[in-house]
Amino acid sequence: MPVLYSFRRCPYAMRARMALSYSGVKVALREIELKNKPLELLTASAKGTVPVLILPDGQVIDESRDIMLWALAQNDPDNWMPALNSVLYKEAISLIDQNDGEFKGYLDRYKYADRYPEHPEAHYRSQGELFLAELDARLQTSQYLLGEQLSVADIAIMPFIRQFAHVDMAWFRQTQYAALQTWLDLLLASTLFNRIMEKYKPWVSDAEPVYLPVKPNK
């Protein structure tokens, strides 16, 4: 079966785990320690970053977006992925590109502002807020980012908004982004998110297999 190298708190790994769990694909989960990465991970992917999915035929997928797309291609019972080349598909990809690109850059600088002394923390936060405001505007008119149905865009972006909020939760809660706060709370309270956030001991080569919890069959 597929093997997934993951780190519980990594937002990239979170979205990969959510997609895999939702799809119902049985995956052997290998939780790693960032300071003690197993040789098997480094051999599979020279990047040495999680998530890394190894398929039974030996194919390695080491980008979280690609893992999500692979999982949804196996099974997408609630139609998270909009029809290829549809308007919603293009909107989803555009939002994920913004999240993974410019917003992630400001998120890193906001979270680790002491490493980027060129500007104060508030500067990086204000730059990241531009994306928060865009998401909030969408969520003022619909429950999810692409409408009234949960989609790949919500799952791909939520872990990063969670991380941004956790830098200073008191600040986030007093902002005007009420719709975004409601959306985030909804996803954080979901069975899917809490299922993939279970804690596991770091994997070692002789450990008993641990499997990623999957969505129960209807």
What phi and psi values does residue 87 have, to the nearest 5 degrees?
-60, -45
> How far lies 90's CA from each of 39, 68, 84, 86, 150, in Å?
38, 16, 8, 6, 16
pLDDT under 50: residue ranges of the chain:
217-218
CATH topology of domain 87-190: Glutathione S-transferase Yfyf (Class Pi); Chain A, domain 2 (1.20.1050)
Contact (CB, 8 A) for 184 and 2: no
pLDDT of residue 34: 92
**Domain range annotation of the chain:** 3-79, 87-190
pLDDT of residue 123: 97
pLDDT of residue 216: 61
Contact (CB, 8 A) for 135 and 161: yes
What's the pTM value of the predicted model, to 2 decimals? 0.95
Contact (CB, 8 A) for 150 and 144: yes
Tell me if residue 54 falls in helix, strand or coil: strand
What phi and psi values does residue 15 have, to the nearest 5 degrees?
-70, -30
Q: Which residues contact 123 (CB under 8 A, 6 or more apart)?
A: none
CATH topology of domain 3-79: Glutaredoxin (3.40.30)
